[in-house]
Amino acid sequence: MATANPTCPPPMKATSNGAFQHENPLDYALPLLILQICLVVVFTRLLAFILKPLRQPRVIAEVIGGILLGPSAIGRNEKFLNTIFPKKSLTVLETVANLGLLFFLFLVGLELDMRSIRRTGHKALAIAVAGITLPFVLGIGTSYALRATVSKKANPTSFLIFMGVALSITAFPVLARILAELKLLTTDAGRIAMAAAAVNDVAAWILLALAIALSGSNSSPLVSLWVILCAAAFVLLAIFALKPLLTMMAKRSPEGEPVQEIYICITLTLVLACSFITDTIGIHALFGAFVVGIVMPKDGPFAGVLIEKIEDLVMSLLLPLYFVSSGLKTDVTTIRGTLSWCMLVLVIFTACFGKISGTFVVSLLCKVPFREALALGFLMNTKGLVELIVLNIGKDRKVLNDQTFAICVLMALFTTFITTPIVMAVYKPARRGSPYTHKTVQRKDPDTELRVLACFHSTYNIPSLINLIESSRGTRKRGKLCVYSMHLMELSERPSAITMVHTARNNGMPFWNKKHDNKDQMVVAFQGYGRLSSVNVRPMTAISAFSSMHEDICTSAHQKRVALILLPFHKHQHFDGTMESLGNSLRAMNGHVLSRAPCSVGILVDRGLGGTRQVQASDVSYDVVVGFFGGRDDREALAYGMRLAEHPGISLTVVKFVAAPGQTFAFGAKLIGITANKDRKIINVDQGTGNSDEDKQEDEQFWSEFMSVRSNNTESITYEERLVDSKEDLKAVLREKNRSNLILVGRMPQVAPLVEKSDCPELGPIGSYLASSEFSTLSSVLVLQQYNPETDVYPMVMEVSDYMDVPDTPTGLSLSS
């Protein structure tokens, strides 16, 4: 009677009957897989959070997490390894991980636009070829050294090609995220790096297919030839059979209509079917999914809907399993002895030297500046998931042994880890622009064009912003008000965000939405308003992390010669009147813009200006109040109020506050400020800074201009002078106006704070009170800060008198990349 093989454990059942039935859930496949997914996701996300200050891409945290959970670190505890990752569970774990990897490679294929590769210039093509050839040749040399020491039993041909591919790969998705994080996508170095990396990526997959074909267990060269021919036939089938089918489905999914569920089902099934075909051919299932992604039409909503359906599940839950699956195979402890460590140093040196020097030298020959050429070398040295895929396939095919596999994984980790800090050190492109005159709303010639940059991050902000802009145009002719609407979108690790970044790369950052059938419905709202009104509206979208979004806002404002940046407040009002915060990151962004803006800034506390819809010009009927205490910011608020008063539907009331004789608006409190120079010295505001008399003169001069304008327009402009001798009096006067549609105030008048404790001090002493639920639930508030050249100590853009700016681009015109 035959006995069972003791080395082969019985297959795991799917589900348990529960702990109350005295069954351990970890002995069953499904509950164990759930625990593994939860552990992996929490652990890798924690590592990503720890590495975030180092500005490392999330793939670094996931690779490190996989290695730490494996036999190199935590997995050295056999009890942990046998409980959480027992050998009998690895088949299920790797199957699910590879399923996630299939769909991730489909998304990577969607990111790669072959049209952009065909348009790649000679410079990027030469750099890509050099970035592949030299490290591939050096990889061949390194393979001989490794075979003579730590990989003596490896198949010579397969090992040679695998090492060449491993050293010559550039991780296209990881590089895109690094460039986006560092805001280098629209620089010359960023454009060249992305074009070269795309060429490199396609070449690497072709070389990998060749390596897999040559690494089969059958030693006959005819078998490898058949595999290569069948793979070529599959690619032709995808181009001439699959692509027309996918294009037909994309055309039947017009903009603005839901994509049919059957089309999604067909596409996802095609991904799996093509993966099965390529696995049957013998070049790994991943190639089928990747090829389907490449031939997928990139235009229209179909590709975007597919990404939305797949990305969160794949990127958040399934893909991290692949890193753990890889980490379980990586045992760093196998690198023992001087010889092994010398091989690790050799592999790292060869990989870095080949990529960096090859790219650097050819870049210099192509007349790329020295610093850009050096940055390009380090950028092209980025490794990532594709590198791990190559190494895992080599390990599974027994081309790489445990020691060589661990050496190559550490090489990939090291080369990617050093990319961001080194590129930040060697290459920080200077933002330069030509100086311009009109940086404030208050100006000597009020008939000059007013340029506004209106920022928004959700649909909630749009109606009030449009209604405010409509009110600002007054009765002036077309061209006297120009609006740039900027949709602020957070850059994430999701492929959809990186796809949008590619669009930004092709058109400048922030980029012009040049198609009329734009997918960004928020931008479409502004485009529609621009067509219906007499206002030039030019929509843009900025994609960045909120921590550095202020750089995009400020540089765009300078590039477009804007006089006023409008920002939404970081809170929005509920129906019951309470204010809910949308996140500290938005508040921090507003603070950074206030301190670094090249022009005036307004923060709009939106309480439904004009309701939840756009108001037509003929229906505008608003009561606007300006509170005037004196000072630079209050003059800006008054200047904007005078601009609004030109609209026939606006009734403007200006309240000039006057302190009681012998008193100031400090009401006995000690007000302090900080000097604008580099010393940042604290000063006593009450004692003055030498500019108080000058400020008073400017207040009086501008007030006389306002009174002159009022005398010509007494119907729509009224004026009140209110004497206040305490904070309570001041609050009482303001509360009288709490049913107005809009209140304009300066950000930093020399007034004692009206609220003892505020979570929005960036609005200043008056604005923070007006933004509180205690004041009103009806009046929207616009808090204005006038640009002050004396405080612009660290500008985002260095003004150069002979610098040639890129001319403004009207909607419907694309920028050449």
Written as one letter, the residue type at 530 is: G
Helix or strand run (H / E) with residue 603: strand 600-605
The residue assigned the tokens 């454990």 is: 9
The span from the CA of 165 to the CA of 208, in Å, is 7
CA distances from 89 to 41, 63, 329, 397, 738 (A): 18, 21, 14, 20, 66
In the three-class reduction of DSSP (H, G, I as helix; E, B as strand; rest coil), residue 453 is classed as strand
- Give pTM, 2 decimals: 0.74
CA distances from 187 to 192, 504, 516, 636, 645 (A): 9, 11, 26, 35, 43
**Nearest of 572, 579, 571 to residue 773 by alpha carbon:** 579
Would you state the pLDDT for residue 681? Answer: 46
The span from the CA of 12 to the CA of 296, in Å, is 38
CB neighbours (10 Å) of residue 159? 24
**Nearest of 124, 180, 80, 145 to residue 509 by alpha carbon:** 180
Residue ranges, the chain, pLDDT below 50: 1-4, 477-479, 505-519, 672-691, 806-817
The span from the CA of 156 to the CA of 134, in Å, is 20
Would you state the pLDDT for residue 506? Answer: 47
